[in-house]
Amino acid sequence: MTDRTPGPSRPVRYHPLSPLREHLRDSFWFAPLLACIGAVLLASLTAWLDEQAVSATVAETGSADELMRFNGAARSVVSTVSSAMLTFIAVVFSISLVALQMAASQFSPRVLRLYVRSRLTKATFSVCLATFLFSLLVQLSYDDSTDPAEVTAVPLFSGLTAVLLVLLSLGLFVFYVQATMRLLRVPHVIDRIADESVAVVHQYRLMPPEARPPVVPEGAPTLLHEGRSGVLRDIAVARLVRIARKHDVVLHLVPRIGDFVTPGTPIVRVVGAADRPPRPRRIAQAFNVGVERTMHQDLGFGFRQLVDIAIRALSPAVNDPTTAVQAVDRIHQLLGMVAHESVGDLCYRDRTGTVRLVEPVPDWGCVVDLAFTEIRLCGAGHPQVTRRLAAALDDLLRIAPEPRRRELLEQRELLERAVAENLADPDVRAFALDPDRQGIG
């Protein structure tokens, strides 16, 4: 069995909003802001409908006595909603903080991004804020006139809308509590991380690495990073491809996604005879540098999170090898997928099919080392973990192409040596190296 060879190269469409969409998902302010704007617009609409209802009633009956009967009840409902929703928001926010603290202590600080990116959490918090703001604006638009002949608006539609928003908030709160309880259980957290990692692997299938990527000649101009220090989270591929096409050059990215860069770090090599080389500032604007990694374009970050969960579970303070085995299950799954992928430099092309951007990604050896090294070192004294590692390695040796067996055989040998160093009894050592997909059942 050989590595998969990429098919005929063709230009690939890059979604121009892809990095922006991921950045907004990692933020917690965007959804509440949209909800508050919607609440302002909805309050204006219901206020206008209330005025139209009074005008229509006066035109038909000559008096607004019928609507005035609902005035007190509607105002009471809106006032109650306004005072209660602020307390309700505090409850939702408190549950979120407790969930974040428990997740950081039990799993890994890296998994907190799952809670921040949760659409249900944002929806619940946003609807509660919108309900509070809506009821507050409705109260500001009250008509204090008590004379039916002078009244211009009765909060009929406003009160009904406030009740519907409260019902929506309660429904979302129930689902939010259920989702938060699920995310406090390690199998669901591991499953979410694995799903996001699978999506990154699927990107490799849509954009297979080139068999022979362009070579960087000696003496090629190198641009240095001029921004702030931090982790290279992702790059705006479409923007870099446009810049390279405009100047008729090929941009070779030096660091990998997830690397830490500082001012002065080589970040791009420019290949091609360009009369007008691209300006460093324009290229720098296509790089997103932050304080933590994301799953958007980072192949290794999913493995990093799973390994962190496993080694934290194997620490003396926690001593939970079963959780480590559950993490190894997903690592086994992801490596089985990557084993048949052509990991290597990704070459992005413009609409004419010309390579314009070359991005380095972790090779097979790097991925295998990341997946097994730390778990092997921390779990060598736990037969449940070593048996699961042995089963995963044996299974990967059966399905991996021949050129990729060497790294797996090295990991198998290192596992046997680690077990021999930690377990002196020959019978226990043989038991610890007996492959078992459940560890010890």
Domain ranges in the chain are 18-184, 210-441
Q: How far apart are CA 346 and CA 157, in angstroms?
A: 56
Q: Please name which of 178, 180, 35, 61 lies closest in space to residue 114, comparing C-alpha atoms.
A: 180
Helix intervals (H) in 207-320: 237-247, 280-284, 299-313
Determine contact, residues 254/266, Cβ cutoff 8 Å.
yes
What does the pLDDT profile of the chain (441 residues) look like in tens digits? 333 334 434 444 444 446 677 777 777 888 899 999 999 999 999 888 877 876 666 555 555 555 666 666 777 788 888 888 888 888 877 877 887 777 777 777 777 777 778 888 889 989 999 999 998 888 877 655 555 555 556 677 888 898 899 999 999 989 988 888 887 788 888 998 999 888 888 876 656 555 566 777 777 788 888 878 899 988 888 889 888 888 888 899 999 989 999 988 888 988 886 667 788 788 888 888 888 888 888 888 999 999 999 999 998 888 889 999 999 999 999 999 988 877 667 888 888 888 888 888 888 899 999 999 999 999 999 999 999 999 999 999 999 989 899 999 999 999 999 999 998 888 999 999 999 988 886
| Structure letter (DSSP) for residue 295 | S
Determine contact, residues 280/226, Cβ cutoff 8 Å.
yes
DSSP states of 362-414: --HHHHHHHHHHHHHHHHTT-HHHHHHHHHHHHHHHHHS-GGGHHHHHHHHHH
* Measured CA distances, 84 to 78, 105, 154 (Å): 10, 32, 22
Output the pTM of the full model: 0.79
Helix then strand then coil, in percent of the chain rounded to 5, is 60, 10, 30
Q: How far apart are CA 388 and CA 356, in angstroms?
A: 43
Residue 332: alpha-carbon gap to chain centroid: 21
